[in-house]
Every structure is written in C-alpha cells, then in structure tokens.
Amino acid sequence: MSFLIENWIPAVMALVSGGMLLWPVLQRGSQGGAISTGEAVRLINREKAVVIDVSEPAEYAAGHVAGSRSVPLATLEGANGLPSNKTLPLVVVCATGARAARAVAQLRKAGHANAQVLAGGLKAWREANLPVESSKA
C-alpha cells in the first residue's frame, strides 16, 4: 500500500491508460452486438440475410436500404413482412439504430435468434456509400 501512496502518479496514469484501452470494448458492448455496414453486406451476400427497416412509413419512403422490407416498429409483432424461416439472419435498420435495437429485442423473443442491429442505422449505410432506394415519385 505504501508503494501506491509513494507512486500515485504512475498508478493513476496506468489506470487512465487501461480505461482508454477498454473504452472501445465497452462502447461496442453497449450497442448490443450491432454489426458494421461491411458485416451487414457480407451477411446479405453470403448468408442471404434479410434487411428489415423498422422506420415509419414516411421515413422508409424517403430512403431505405436497397431491397429492405418495411416493417414499422409499432407493427412488428405479427407482421407479415418477416421471413417465416426464423434461422435466416436479419439485419434490422432504422434512421440511427435506436429503434432497431428495440426491434431486435422483440424479434429475438419471437424466435429470430439471428437478428442484429446495423450500427449507425441508415445514416451509417449512406456514409458507406451503399445503395439506398427511395419510394417517392
């Protein structure tokens, strides 16, 4: 104990350094296993993942991931737009990822164990220059 008292500056520096190293890991964990745009593309191309957009209909019409299915969060339970094969990977998207996290929790309770949130939502998808469709005329 006297060692720490006599060497408190290096001890504090070691704690701060360790905290800075752990911060990204803790941030990733708080997103509930959200996946990157690159991982989402891999799932779509290689594992036939289905993209579910839980945005409101007006938001979906303004722009959505190309090929995604619109299933608003409020209508998620009992929705017809969900695949009947519950083993298929689902990539759940909304504008920023906040609603998608709630949707993934509901989907997992309903048996879709492979449902995952797209980290950053549609905003991150657009920033990665990935295809976006619009339903507006």
Q: What is the pLDDT of residues 48-77, one digit of tens each?
A: 999 999 999 999 999 999 999 999 999 998
Bridge-based pairing of strands 64-65 and 132-133 is antiparallel
- pLDDT of residue 123 exceeding 90, the answer is yes
Between 72 and 20, residue with greater pLDDT? 72
User: What are the b/e assignments for 36-58, b being 16+ CB within 10 Å?
Assistant: ebeebbebbeeeebbbbbbbbee
